[in-house]
Chain A
Amino acid sequence: MTNEIKRRSFLKVSAAAGGGLLLSLYLPEAIGAGLDAGGRQPGTAALPFMPNAFVRIGSDDSVTVIVNKSEMGQGVYTSLPMLLAEELEADWSKIKVESAPVDAAYNHTTFGIQMTGGSTSTASEWDRFRKAGATARVMLIGAAAQQWGVDSQALRAENGFVIGPGRGQRASFGSLADAAAKIAAPQDVPLKDPKDFKLIGKATRRLDTPSKVDGSAQFGLDVKIPGMMTAVVARSPVFGGKVASLNADAARAVSGVRNVVQIPSGVAVIAEGFWPAKLGREKLDIKWDEGQNANLSTTGMREQYASLAKKPGKLARRVGDPAGALASAAKTVTAEYEVPYLAHAMMEPLNCVVDLRANSCEIWTGTQFQTVDRMAAAAVAGLKPEQVQIHTTLLGGGFGRRANPASDFVIEAVQVAKAAKTPVKVIWTREDDIRGGWYRPMWYDRMQAGVDVSGNPVAWTHTIVGQSIMEGTAFEAFGIKDGIDAASVEGAADLLYGIPNLQVDLHTPKIGVPVMWWRSVGHSHNGFAVEAFFDEVAHECGKDPFELRRALLANQPRMRALLELVAEKANWGKPLPTGRGRGIATHFSFDSYVAQVAEVSVDNGRVRVHRVVCAIDCGRVVNPDTVKAQLEGGIIFGLTAALKDEITLDRGRVQQRNFHDYPMLRINEAPEIEVHIMPSTEKPTGVGEPGVPPVAPAVANAIFAATGTRVRKLPIGLVG
């Protein structure tokens, strides 16, 4: 399974931009252990030419791109190979994709660990993958120049061949691979002028689609290894609870159940398959020591949050004199906004396969957090990180959940394997997923604005109440400065609107519900509070919400242009059929600008979203069709949160459990979606998440336009 390639030193090539960006340091030992684009184990063919950690060219002309980002639907198994193939001048039809093993060579260029998140994959790899391709191309050309005895300057690469001026001077990459492997990797290879791009910027079909329409794509849940058992885990009904007593006799008596073991998170039932494991779990007799969270309730928390919001919190940002400006304003507007805990609810529930041996631990799972998971797994297994190998499968959705700071689903599976002494796959049921915590925090926002006599906003204050997602994690030092978790105030403290007096402050209550990033993170709630409140302010100012935004974005040319584009495409200001309303919202997140207009009607309190027009400026685009798909998906994801979902707790227990009470938007509720991409030559920025934050406020603002009712709490549910 693992190719016997020893670690070889390769040239270190500093990239043109970005601190600490190093190209292709060496060939990782574990290379070839990854999975292909369909998530399957690749063959172990000889590897004649692997100039760096990201590409391997076979004598059969195959070009295998090793992708260090996890494919969870965002299209990285296509867009990153496009970057490399562009500079390599590869034949796109010969491109294959493998997932990278865990190795420092694959670390995020900014965050320094191997991970996928923060809508940063393209930004992180934009230079590195192009350099990797360009370096390989120069080496192939060098090999041809040697063979033909000509100057390499006279040669060029095109569509998988090196071509020279002379008769018959045409050699496929595969035929040059052996010779190219003997050439020293050049330093600082120049990259193409973007005007010469052939692939980048062209809508390109995803390489993983065929495997996803015939059932062959391998997700973590599909992995099977020799001797593997299946386990499900009974976890405490209250977060942080522990097993007080256990009687597993009835569980052990279930046909197919092989073992029952106690682990730190609860009790694992190990069986020949999922079904006996689940039946066994139902027969467990466990008394729980519920611990200090046994009386948690979201109703009580809401009261606590609302009362905190009336007092100023820790200062995140102050501009001018907001208190003075509010006191002297002709009019003030005050409103409180709130959003609930939310589960990620990826379609593929969490799962993890572990094969733990005396000196090794092999893991198969769909993770976004390879470095963190490997370290955590090693600690539990009592091994060195290098002895732990992670095969990153395809992810059946991620949305942040599979980048768990505590590696919860990975270490638990290692604990089960360790206790049960068997290769094992731990499967979470949907109920386990919905009730398993690690939610988007619940938030409460108190907003105030002051308006002058001419109807211009002169002051804006925003008090935010909610748990920190960084506190207590290894990312605390990175994410929390002076008591402010940057993720709690993102999208609020960096308000783009030119309001002269601004204050954003934060309360960070400590609550025993595990929380973490959820697609668009802090922006998922601040986008709603800020943009819905802005609409209220515009109304109080007697101004059109589009016009007021436009006026206050005078110093934000990219957002202003985008706002104008979306308004034009959505026919802003033009009449609508009776009963319909339009709402507009903008939001800057993950370095990208997004503006949306939603068109809704409300019938007997039921909200119907008919159409969403969306515009994005995300810098230079690699695969425009993927960008569109991510925004379509982000809008649907945001609509589910806006209209439907909440996780609530009573007596410490999560009250939802499956899709009947934690529902998802369905096809009959999906609006028509139109996506416009602003042409740009700026560096690429985020795409996976920025589509989410503007949806809820655009819909809330449209509901006001249609009905005159303000929506200040999500999920919207029934209006009126």
Chain B
Amino acid sequence: MITLNVNGKAINVDVDPATPLLWVLRETIGLTGTKYGCGMAQCGACTVHLNGEAIRSCVKRVADAAGKEITTIEGLSTDLSHPLQKAWIEIDVPQCGYCQSGQIMSAAVLLAENSKPTDRDIDEAMTGNICRCGTYPRIRQAIHRAAEMKRKA
């Protein structure tokens, strides 16, 4: 039995310790906002926070996440109140939407560490997240907008 701390809740899971965290979140715990895209840390669709750091849950053994704080898109806010969620809605970033949980989770770490990210900062933080629909110009715009909202709050 492995005890995980997901979105502030302790959850016991009985799984093979080598199972990637992604599949435990999605299938065992039922948090399907975190997506599978490649299974080899190439696309970022599975991005979650582990002790405040953006990690690719598709290559993270669940045993290695035990005892650490895990935040998924469902835990970012419960009411769409995170500045990134507001900015994403205001700018209508998503198209198909499949990669957007991962995009937002990567952006959330950037924003927590940098209150006024430059385009270059955004490139560095977001290059690991693929969007096949090509929403990159809007992601960039929305991160700037969210940073602005956060500074004014």
Contact = CB atoms under 8 A, between A and B. Distances in A.
Interface of A: 71-75, 205-206, 208-219, 221-222, 224, 230, 255-256, 273-276, 345-349, 394-399, 427, 429-430, 625, 629-630, 632-637, 658-660, 664-668, 670, 672-673
Nearest to B123: A668
B135 A666 contact: no
B134 A213 contact: no
B136 A396 contact: no
Interface of B: 16, 19-20, 23, 26-28, 30-40, 42-43, 45, 72-74, 76-77, 80, 84-85, 88-89, 92-101, 104, 122-124, 126-127, 129-140
Q: By DSSP majority rule, is chain B's interface helix, strand, loop, or mixed?
A: loop
A664 B85 contact: no
A347 B45 contact: yes
Contact of A275 (B20, B93, B140): B20
A420 to B, nearest CB: 18
Contact of A214 (B42, B85, B139): B85
Residue from A394, A399, A666 having most chain B Cβ neighbours under 10 A: A666
Contact of B98 (A213, A347, A427, A660): A347
B64 to A, nearest CB: 15
A212 B137 contact: no
B94 A208 contact: yes
23 contacts: A208-B97, A210-B89, A212-B100, A213-B100, A213-B104, A214-B74, A215-B32, A215-B74, A216-B33, A219-B98, A273-B23, A275-B23, A349-B36, A349-B37, A396-B99, A625-B92, A629-B92, A632-B134, A636-B131, A636-B134, A659-B42, A667-B136, A668-B123
B36 A212 contact: no
B130 A659 contact: yes
Contact of A347 (B28, B80, B104, B132): B132
Nearest to B135: A633
Given A73-B95, A213-B80, A667 B129 contact: yes
Contacts of A213: 73, 80, 84-85, 88-89, 93-94, 100-101, 104
Contacts of B39: 429-430, 658
Given A397-B132, A634-B134, A665-B134, A205 B92 contact: yes
Q: Which 6 A-B pairs have the closest CB atoms?
A: A215-B33, A636-B134, A396-B98, A73-B95, A212-B97, A73-B96
Nearest to B89: A209
A213 B134 CA distance: 16
Contacts of B31: 215
Contacts of A217: 97
Interface hub of B31, B84, B85, B122 (most chain A Cβ within 10 A): B85
User: Which of A71, A427, A668 has the largest number of chain B CB atoms within 10 A?
Assistant: A668
A205 B90 CA distance: 8
B74 A632 contact: no
